[in-house]
Amino acid sequence: MKTFFITATGTGVGKTYVTAALVADLADRGRSVRVLKPVISGFDETNPQGSDTAVLLRSLGQPLTPEAIDACSPWRFSEPLSPDMAARHEGRAIDFAALVEFCRGARAGDEDVLLIEAVGGAMVPLDDSHTVLDWMADLGAPVVVVAGSYLGTLSHTLTTVSALRERDIDIAAVVVDESEDSPVLISETVDTLARFLPGLTLISLMRNADRASIHAALEAIIGE
Ligand SMILES: Nc1ncnc2c1ncn2[C@@H]1O[C@H](COP(=O)(O)OP(=O)(O)OP(=O)(O)O)[C@@H](O)[C@H]1O
Ligand SMILES: [Mg+2]
């Protein structure tokens, strides 16, 4: 099984969009896929339809049943806060070792590809002593970094890549997902990143990307 961990330079940048697009493309090509969003905050148990979990299950063509939600997103919190805060507000805490073990268990499955959507940006706290960076490092799966094309993304993206490299985390690709109403040309953003990140796979994805460009992104990431 090939596993990819999808992180980002920040929240709302496009992790779910990119993950769901890749899942749909893989499924179209007859690949078996499992997709996880293990930690999710801002989750309304009475109305899960708009959640990342729902979007990801839909991309797989799976119904939004309580069992499917549990299997995809075991750590759910109602407040739209960082996971450590959202958990604390409910008198709970994420068991970091259990989170890593859950993902390792999924990697032992029979599917061709496992995609794991992280939460927020690369250094969002999960509990009092671990961030997403620790989760990625412990899991050891190649990481896809989703970045935006908004003004400010260059520093956010270079900082994120630097933090990942400091922990020897394998970066499969950086996907620059076009931000809404950005004054910056996505092509210039990618060109600039290429100058500072030689050798790294950089992919640009336009808004409402067509199937061909999603497929090209998949090939660049998965290498097949
Ligand atoms: N290329 C795109 N074309 C059209 N819409 C997009 C694109 N990328 C992102 N979006 C939309 O932008 C919004 C934010 O993206 P998304 O939910 O994927 O971010 P995220 O990184 O998963 O956020 P979170 O940190 O909450 O998990 C969503 O409504 C998504 O559908
Ligand atoms: Mg998301």
Which domains does the chain possess? 2-222 (3.40.50.300)
Query: How far is it, in rounded angstroms, from Cα 34 to Cα 72?
Result: 9
Mean pLDDT of the chain: 97
Question: What proportion of the chain, given as a percentage, has pLDDT over 90?
Answer: 98
**Residue 37: both structure tokens together:** 């969003």
pLDDT value for 137: 98
47-101 tens-digit pLDDT: 999 999 999 999 999 999 999 999 999 999 999 999 999 999 999 999 999 999 9
pLDDT value for 70: 98
Average pLDDT rounded to a whole number, residues 145-159: 97
Residues whose Cβ atom is located within 5 A of ion ligand 2: 15-16, 52
| CA of residue 82 to ligand 2 center, whole Å | 13
Average pLDDT rounded to a whole number, residues 24-39: 96
pLDDT value for 223: 80
Average pLDDT rounded to a whole number, residues 159-177: 98
Query: How far is it, in rounded angstroms, from Cα 77 to Cα 1?
Result: 29
Q: Which residues line ligand 1 (CB under 6 A)?
A: 8, 11-17, 52, 120, 177-178, 205, 207-209
Pairing of strands 33-36, 113-117: parallel
Question: 163: Cβ–Cβ under 8 A, 6 or more apart, which residues?
Answer: 122, 123, 133
Annotated catalytic residue within 2, 37, 76, 130: 37
pLDDT value for 224: 66
Query: How far is it, in rounded angstroms, from Cα 154 to Cα 191?
Result: 11
CB 118 within 8 A of CB 99: no
89-103 tens-digit pLDDT: 999 999 999 999 999
